[in-house]
Amino acid sequence: MKTRKLLIAVSAALAMGWAAGAQAADPVKIALVAELSGPAAALGQDKLDAFMMAVEQNGGKLGGVPVEVLARDSQLKPEVANQIAEELIEKEKVPIVTGISFSNIMMTMARKLDAANILVVGSGAGPAPLAGKRCLPNVFVVSKQNDQFAEAMGQYAADQGYKRIIAMAPNYQAGKDFVNGFKRTYTTPLVDEIYTPLNQLDFSAELSRISAEKPDAVYVFYPGGLGVSFVRAYKQAGLIDKVPLLSVSTVDGTTLPALKDTALGVMHASAWGPDLDNPVNRKFVADFEAKYHRIPSEYAAQSYDAAMLIASALAKTGGDVSDLQALRKAVAAADFKSVRGNFSFNTNQFPIQDFYAFKVVKGAEGNATLKTVSKVLKNSKDAYYQECKRS
């Protein structure tokens, strides 16, 4: 834990090093909240690394404005996230918070930060309530609404003609969102829905049920360390070559380095992949690989986009974060080049974007990577935006 804290301090210090001896206004504080320890640490580290890369590439600035990045580890514990929110409001008085990978953490922090007039630029979690009836004026989500990845994979499953599918996910808000989203586009009734306790790493009982049911395919959402454990167990159970594994947020840059060839053939749906062919993405992937010696994940891509979005807003406001209405307007404009290509905000401040199906394949250097199979949703809007009646 001491090593982890040191790494966080060093990462944040890189962004602040420019300040020594500088004669300038105080930098804008940006808090990045992520899971930096425990099974989900890879997700948070990718977010932090991508965001810091953007800051470092711009000389400690975003949008020409000096910034100070405060990294905070939620530990995937709502009670810790609540303490962090209070610290950021009362002690640090930050104007902007980014990161936040998990929906239970977002649901814990969002309303408190919004009430304190802190702008949230979420780069991970996109829980359904915040996209719809419980939307908040100061909360923007740059990543996706949780259901959307699932809707993309549901559409892919429908296109493949699968008739009997079992869904599995952790038993919390995002897990339920990801199953509901899948069912929105894959309209054939599921054979079964299996919800496992969050942080459960032993799936032997559930895989025995799958073997007995003999479905056409299995659809899962298991991010971070959960995904590594699940895919390994699925392979060891002899299922990976018999029952197609369809996934979201399970096989990506955070898990493929550990899974390697174990994940070959697994399907994945997302708004981003390392082979998306646009200039911004090509540079982002090359820079990330050169700096960190691994392929970035969708979490890194989302966090990099969050940094570029914040940069565009700070450039528009000249670094003035005291006028919250002006800052919100600048963020809503989404005047930046996304690694995902086309990007805009819907009326609920969640993205409108394309979604793709990917397959885990062996890359040119022998490493496991993601290859685009097809675009399955174009300019997709989430299912809840019309419920958002923000005043």
77 neighbors 98 (Cβ within 8 angstroms): no
Same domain, 202 and 119: no
64 neighbors 313 (Cβ within 8 angstroms): no
Same domain, 226 and 369: yes
Same domain, 284 and 307: yes
Note whether residue 55 is domain-resident.
yes
Same domain, 202 and 88: no
Note whether residue 214 is domain-resident.
yes
Using CA atoms, how far apart are residues 182 and 248, in angstroms rounded to an integer?
Answer: 10
**CATH number of the domain bearing residue 62:** 3.40.50.2300
Q: Collapse the DSSP code of 193 into the 3-class scheme (helix H, G, I; strand E, B; otherwise coil) and give the result.
A: strand
Using the structure block, give the residue that is written with the tokens 């528009």: 316
Structure tokens at 99: 């990161």
Note whether residue 152 is domain-resident.
yes
Same domain, 262 and 343: no
What pLDDT score does 205 carry? 95
What pLDDT score does 259 carry? 93
Same domain, 250 and 264: yes
Structure tokens at 136: 């908040």
Segments forming the whole domain that contains residue 61: 28-145+277-353
Note whether residue 371 is domain-resident.
yes
Residue 92 buriedness (CB in 10 A; 0-12 / 13-18 / 19+)? middle
56 neighbors 15 (Cβ within 8 angstroms): yes
Per-residue pLDDT in tens (0 to 9) along the chain, 391 residues: 434 443 444 444 444 444 433 334 689 999 999 999 987 888 899 999 999 999 999 999 999 999 999 999 999 999 999 999 999 999 999 999 999 988 899 999 999 999 999 999 999 999 999 999 999 999 999 999 988 999 999 999 999 999 999 999 999 888 898 899 999 999 999 999 999 998 889 999 999 999 999 999 999 999 888 999 999 999 999 999 999 999 998 998 888 989 999 999 999 999 999 999 999 999 999 999 999 988 899 999 999 999 999 999 999 999 999 999 999 999 999 999 999 999 999 999 999 999 999 999 998 778 899 999 999 999 999 999 999 987 5
Note whether residue 20 is domain-resident.
no
What pLDDT score does 177 carry? 86
Domain tally, the chain: 2
Closest-CA residue to 269 (of 175, 359, 144): 359
